[in-house]
């Protein structure tokens, strides 16, 4: 997929399961839209086995669903991910995206606002099944002075609380991207640390990358492997640039300068970032998956979204390498680290990568 802030992953269980725990007096429109949207989705869910037996279903759809079955079997056997009911059902949607995610930061901060729920803990976004609802909430945040980003979501995870279906919103993706999504979401069902979106998303991104590489090498072809490697290079370059400019902004925000001065410096840095991206994406033959994100309303919230999915990737990648790719040992140590208090957890992960090595790719 394009970087996950574009393809996206929404932990709907943070909404639905929380709503089930709340008293009946809580009639929040937010919880209502989450539960209603979730239930409507599940009402359309059909077992893949039943779809495959339907003579009226096209051969193309059956071929794709058979591919999903093989990827899912690979994910549970090779990647040691949960063999639950997720991705065993199919839902045909009449829209391009499943939902929309709202991320917000203060004007002079790169730390996203967090919303907390009894089951999933605190997460750095709010998800909406309806675009108008997402836009309306985003506008209230903008009026309060926050930087805001509304990003489309093609898939979501319920952390194993429900059987996550295969959706038409992502079924047509290239095989390697489809494999990545399934592996990523199943990783959330295996390991999920409350109140730590960066930990969860960075971990799932590393397992996703490892899983896709193994899948393509054993089930794909050279063209798919080359396409995926090229995509990973573009993603790494994009994320590295985002993190580089993010650090420059952080220096400004920590400088103690006045609001007007910080506002001017922020504008300059974001414009420089946009110009660098335009130069890179203008190279002949270079694909640009991130145009939607960069070419309109570039702000702190969009950079925070990338940070969530990328910051601890080098640490988890290093840990997997230290385990020589042994996933049982890797998951065991990840669980051990995840059980630590947050500050100790971050220290343990950051210690895996020297600071100069971690930031080398951002210069």
Domain containing residue 133: 4-229
Asked, for residue 327, whether it belongs to a domain, the answer is no
Asked, for residue 263, whether it belongs to a domain, the answer is no
Asked, for residue 188, whether it belongs to a domain, the answer is yes
- pLDDT score, position 153: 87
- b/e per residue, 6-42, with b = 16+ CB within 10 A? bbbbbbbbbbbbbbeeeeeeeeeeebebbbebbeebe
Each residue's pLDDT tens digit, 19-72: 333 333 334 678 788 888 888 888 999 999 999 999 999 999 999 999 999 999
Q: In the Cβ-directed half-sphere of 72, how many Cα atoms lie within 13 Å?
A: 20
Asked, for residue 328, whether it belongs to a domain, the answer is no
In this predicted structure, the answer to whether residue 262 has a pLDDT above a threshold of 80 is yes
Each residue's pLDDT tens digit, 179-232: 999 999 999 999 999 889 889 999 999 999 999 999 999 998 888 888 888 888
Query: Which tops the pLDDT comparison, 108 or 283?
Result: 108
In this predicted structure, the answer to whether residue 142 has a pLDDT above a threshold of 60 is yes
Q: For residue 362, what is the DSSP state?
A: G
Asked, for residue 257, whether it belongs to a domain, the answer is no
Instruction: Give the separation between CA 263 and CA 182, rounded to whole angstroms.
Output: 41
- pLDDT score, position 293: 66
Q: Count Cβ atoms below 10 Å from residue 268 Cβ, excluding itself.
A: 12
In DSSP notation, 258-314 reads -HHHHHHHHHHHHHHHHHHHHHHHTSTT---TTHHHHSS---HHHHHHHHHHHTTHH
Instruction: Give the separation between CA 246 and CA 305, rounded to whole angstroms.
Output: 11
- pLDDT score, position 161: 79
Number of folded domains that form the chain? 1
Asked, for residue 222, whether it belongs to a domain, the answer is yes
The answer to whether 248 and 303 have CB atoms below 8 angstroms apart is: no
| pTM for this prediction | 0.85
Asked, for residue 123, whether it belongs to a domain, the answer is yes
Instruction: Give the separation between CA 278 and CA 137, rounded to whole angstroms.
Output: 30
Each residue's pLDDT tens digit, 97-138: 999 999 999 999 999 998 887 666 778 888 899 999 999 999
Asked, for residue 35, whether it belongs to a domain, the answer is yes
Residue 126, classed as helix, strand or coil, is strand
Exposed / middle / buried, residue 319 (Cβ in 10 Å: 0-12, 13-18, 19+):
buried
Q: In the Cβ-directed half-sphere of 52, how many Cα atoms lie within 13 Å?
A: 13
- Nearest CA-CA partner of 148 in 158, 157, 139: 139
Each residue's pLDDT tens digit, 308-338: 888 899 999 999 999 999 999 999 999 999 9
């Amino acid at each position: 997929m394009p970087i996950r802030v574009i393809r996206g992953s929404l932990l709907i269980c943070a909404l639905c399961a929380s709503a089930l725990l709340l008293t009946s007096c809580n009639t929040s429109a937010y919880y209502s839209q989450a539960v209603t949207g979730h239930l409507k989705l599940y009402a359309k869910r059909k077992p893949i086995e039943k779809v495959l037996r339907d003579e009226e279903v096209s051969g193309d759809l059956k071929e794709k669903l058979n591919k999903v079955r093989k990827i899912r079997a690979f994910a549970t056997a090779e990647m040691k991910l949960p063999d639950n009911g997720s991705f065993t059902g199919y839902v045909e949607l009449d829209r391009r995206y499943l939902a929309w995610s709202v991320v917000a930061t203060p004007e002079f901060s790169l730390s996203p606002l967090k919303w907390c729920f009894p089951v999933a803990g605190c997460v750095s976004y709010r998800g909406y099944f309806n675009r108008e609802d997402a836009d309306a909430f985003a506008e209230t945040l903008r009026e309060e002075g926050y930087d805001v980003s509304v990003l489309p979501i093609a898939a979501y995870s319920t952390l194993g609380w429900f059987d996550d279906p295969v959706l038409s919103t992502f079924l047509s993706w290239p095989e390697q991207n489809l494999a990545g999504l399934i592996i990523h979401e199943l990783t959330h069902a295996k390991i999920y640390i409350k109140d730590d979106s960066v930990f969860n998303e960075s971990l799932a991104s590393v397992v996703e990358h490892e899983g896709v590489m193994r899948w393509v090498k054993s089930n794909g072809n050279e063209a798919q492997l080359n396409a995926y490697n090229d995509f990973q290079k573009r993603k790494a370059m994009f994320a590295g640039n985002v993190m580089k400019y993010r650090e420059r902004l952080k220096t400004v925000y920590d400088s103690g300068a006045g609001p007007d001065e910080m506002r001017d410096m922020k504008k300059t840095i974001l414009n420089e970032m946009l110009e660098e991206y335009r130069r890179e994406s203008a190279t002949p033959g270079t694909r640009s998956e991130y145009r939607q994100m960069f070419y309109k309303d570039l702000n702190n919230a969009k950079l925070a979204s990338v940070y969530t999915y990328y910051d601890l990737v080098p640490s988890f990648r290093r840990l997997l390498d230290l385990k020589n790719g042994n996933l049982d040992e890797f998951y065991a140590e990840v669980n051990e680290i995840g059980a630590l208090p947050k500050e100790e957890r971050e220290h343990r992960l950051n210690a895996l990568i020297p600071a100069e090595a971690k930031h080398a790719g951002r210069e």
